[in-house]
Chains A and B, each alone.
Chain A
Amino acid sequence: MTKAQVLVVGAGLAGVGAAVELARAGQPVLVADRAPRAGGAIHRQPLPGRAAISSHAARWDRLIAEAQALPIDWAFETKFAGLDHTGTALLSGATNRLMRPAALVLALGAREAVRPRTGWTLPNVTTAGALQIELKTQGLAPQGRVLLAGNGPLLIAVAAQMTRLGNPPVAIVESAAPFAHPLHSLALPLSYLREAAGYMATLIRARVPILTRAEVVAIRAEGTALSVRVETPKGPRVFTVDRVGLHDGIRKNDGGVTACAAVPVLALGDCAEVLGARAALASGRAGGIALARALTNGTPRETVPSTTLVRERAAQQRLARIYAHDAMARLADLPGGTVICRCEGGTLDDLRALGPTPRVRELRLLGRFGMGPCQGRSCGEWVARASADDPGLPPPDTPLGRARWPLAPIAIADLIAATSDTGAAPLPSEGT
């Protein structure tokens, strides 16, 4: 029997970093990603022949060269549906396979959070991350008048990248007041400051307005354009734009996968803790080394104390302080018809109809929150915050119950076509 593969889900820095270390240690590795190419969020690769945008291209080029020199199997355009209690994983899409991996590495990357706002479900309103992906794959700035809004350093990065490609955004609307904390900012690692200074210089040169302590309160469709109402400390403003990119921070994202007796599970990179690119690569490599050692020697996996992780954690905490704001409270003021759960169309009114402290079962069965394809992975935070006394407090980890497989919908035709190398037992005791 050939040795079982380690399944690495996610071909970003953490996943490829782990795959490289595992393969180097002689472990057979399969890397699966739903995207068509490796790269993940930060190193999303351009279409063939287009220019790469990513600011640390050399880091990625080195890593991918390492990976290509090692015997690693790749499965792109392939979704990981989850790991069941028997230790079977399901891959579907371009590769359709039921497999029993020797171990599972989750390197799914972070999830972008977008707080519900009036009009946030309109076409041409996307996450800022979606705009950035478009920009990175196309090698071109998204066209038309673009407004970026929400909270966090990503807005500045996307704005600067758009500007450099010739289409600066109309404005950045930021919930916090990041420039009001010069002391915190100076305590950031030099690499952060250098990158931020570069972005800011670009934006200042292009005179991109950055409105701070400001909020998009409503987006309306006006013909083919979008009319965006913004509240600022100096009063309301209205922007007419073609596209809006929203972003309210980044969340970890392990999909609710739990270990089972048969298969060790290791979450690495942003999906385990949002610490950014450097930490993701460090965590991927360290995790890969530790896992390979555990698989070879049967020694327990020890967590390697990494200076990179410690440093990045401190930096992220500073960033969080710089970007702190109290705009979560606005959830409570949204009109009742605002959609909270995009999958099932559940509104704030639907949520309120369940009474003051709805239980998980009621939220799910009667409110249908968490019953759509995302199973509450996206809306859970907003459901929890909107029904909490203080929407500003961090919500519980699983407000809509433990997320279960599938992590992503499974096409039935793919499932039926899936080969199985699990030697799966027949249906347990059926008919008894």
Chain B
Amino acid sequence: MSGPVIYWRDRILAFTPGESVAHALTRAGIAAFGPGPVGVPRAVFCGIGQCQMCLVQIDGRTVEACLTLCRDGLRVGPEQEINHD
């Protein structure tokens, strides 16, 4: 892949500059962002940062995928997985 990319687990996804992580994942067919802490799956719902359902981990921090813009080389993972440090 020549353009800028983000990583989701072992997948490499191209993105358009200015695009949110949520949209890059959605376009790649990734709708399920992993299990949430209480059994409600993590996935986009409101799309505007209100519902807190689209949480993912980036650089060890929990962020809303729908509010976070893609940057080249960003490593994105499910909210629950990265805590095992």
A and B touch in the complex (CB under 8 A): yes
Within 8 A of A (CB), among B29-67: 31-33, 36, 38-41, 43-53, 61-63, 66-67
Q: How far is it, in angstroms, between the C-alpha of A345 and the C-alpha of B40 when the chains are bound? A: 6
Say whether B32 contacts A373, CB under 8 Å.
no
Given contacts A134-B26, A339-B40, A345-B38, are A35 and B67 in contact (CB under 8 A)?
A: yes
Say whether B46 contacts A47, CB under 8 Å.
no
Given contacts A77-B69, A130-B45, are A48 and B18 in contact (CB under 8 A)?
A: yes
A285 contacts partner chain B, Cβ-Cβ < 8 Å: no
Residues of A within 8 A of B18 (CB): 36, 47-48
A209 contacts partner chain B, Cβ-Cβ < 8 Å: no
Residues of B within 8 A of A362 (CB): none
Pick from B48, B52, B61, B69: contact of A130, CB below 8 A: B48
Within 8 A of B (CB), among A25-42: 34-36, 41
A262 contacts partner chain B, Cβ-Cβ < 8 Å: no
Chain B: interface secondary structure?
A: loop
Q: How far is it, in angstroms, between the C-alpha of A114 and the C-alpha of B67 when the chains are bound? A: 20
Residues of B within 8 A of A77 (CB): 67, 69
Q: How far is the CB of A219 from chain B (nearest CB, A)?
A: 13
Say whether A34 contacts B49, CB under 8 Å.
yes
Q: How far is it, in angstroms, between the C-alpha of A138 and the C-alpha of B62 when the chains are bound? A: 25
A413 contacts partner chain B, Cβ-Cβ < 8 Å: yes
Pick from A134, A343, A411: contact of B47, CB below 8 A: A134
Say whether A378 contacts B50, CB under 8 Å.
yes
Say whether A133 contacts B19, CB under 8 Å.
no
Residues of B within 8 A of A79 (CB): 49
Within 8 A of B (CB), among A267-315: none
Say whether A121 contacts B46, CB under 8 Å.
no
Q: How far is it, in angstroms, between the C-alpha of A130 and the C-alpha of B27 when the chains are bound? A: 14
Q: CB-nearest residue of chain B relative to A374? A: B52
Q: How far is the CB of B20 from chain A (nearest CB, A)?
A: 8
Say whether B52 contacts A126, CB under 8 Å.
no
Pick from B23, B39, B49, B66: contact of A345, CB below 8 A: B39
Say whether B46 contacts A129, CB under 8 Å.
yes
Q: How far is it, in angstroms, between the C-alpha of A143 and the C-alpha of B69 when the chains are bound? A: 21
Residue tally, chain A, CB below 8 Å to B: 41
Say whether A342 contacts B51, CB under 8 Å.
yes
Say whether A126 contacts B38, CB under 8 Å.
no
Q: How far is it, in angstroms, between the C-alpha of A345 and the C-alpha of B39 when the chains are bound? A: 7
Pick from A124, A142, A339, A377: contact of B50, CB below 8 A: A377
A336 contacts partner chain B, Cβ-Cβ < 8 Å: no
Q: How far is it, in angstroms, between the C-alpha of A343 and the C-alpha of B36 when the chains are bound? A: 9
Residues of A within 8 A of B73 (CB): none
A408 contacts partner chain B, Cβ-Cβ < 8 Å: yes
Q: How far is it, in angstroms, between the C-alpha of A77 and the C-alpha of B71 when the chains are bound? A: 14
Say whether A130 contacts B43, CB under 8 Å.
no
Say whether B49 contacts A123, CB under 8 Å.
no
Q: How far is it, in angstroms, between the C-alpha of A17 and the C-alpha of B27 when the chains are bound? A: 34
Q: How far is it, in angstroms, between the C-alpha of A34 and the C-alpha of B18 when the chains are bound? A: 14
Given contacts A134-B26, A138-B23, are A409 and B52 in contact (CB under 8 A)?
A: yes
Q: How far is the CB of B79 from chain A (nearest CB, A)?
A: 12
Residues of B within 8 A of A114 (CB): 45
Q: How far is it, in angstroms, between the C-alpha of A131 and the C-alpha of B66 when the chains are bound? A: 12
Residues of B within 8 A of A138 (CB): 19, 23, 27
Q: How far is it, in angstroms, between the C-alpha of A34 and the C-alpha of B68 when the chains are bound? A: 9
Residues of B within 8 A of A342 (CB): 40, 45, 51-53
Pick from A112, A137, A413: contact of B19, CB below 8 A: A137
Residues of B within 8 A of A35 (CB): 48-49, 67
Say whether B40 contacts A36, CB under 8 Å.
no
Say whether A112 contacts B46, CB under 8 Å.
yes
Q: How far is the CB of B70 from chain A (nearest CB, A)?
A: 11
Residues of B within 8 A of A127 (CB): 45-47
Within 8 A of A (CB), among B1-28: 16-20, 23, 26-27
Residues of B within 8 A of A143 (CB): 27
Say whether B46 contacts A343, CB under 8 Å.
no
A residues adjacent to B (C-beta < 8 A): 34-36, 41, 47-48, 77, 79, 111-112, 114, 121-127, 129-131, 133-134, 137-138, 142-143, 339, 342-345, 372-374, 377-378, 408-409, 411, 413
Name the 3 nearest CB pairs between A and B, nearest first.
Answer: A130-B47, A345-B38, A123-B43
Q: Can you pick out 18 interface pairs between chain A and chain B where the beta carbons lie within 8 Å of each other?
A: A35-B49, A36-B20, A112-B46, A122-B43, A123-B33, A123-B41, A126-B47, A127-B46, A130-B44, A130-B47, A131-B47, A137-B19, A342-B45, A343-B52, A345-B40, A409-B52, A411-B63, A413-B61
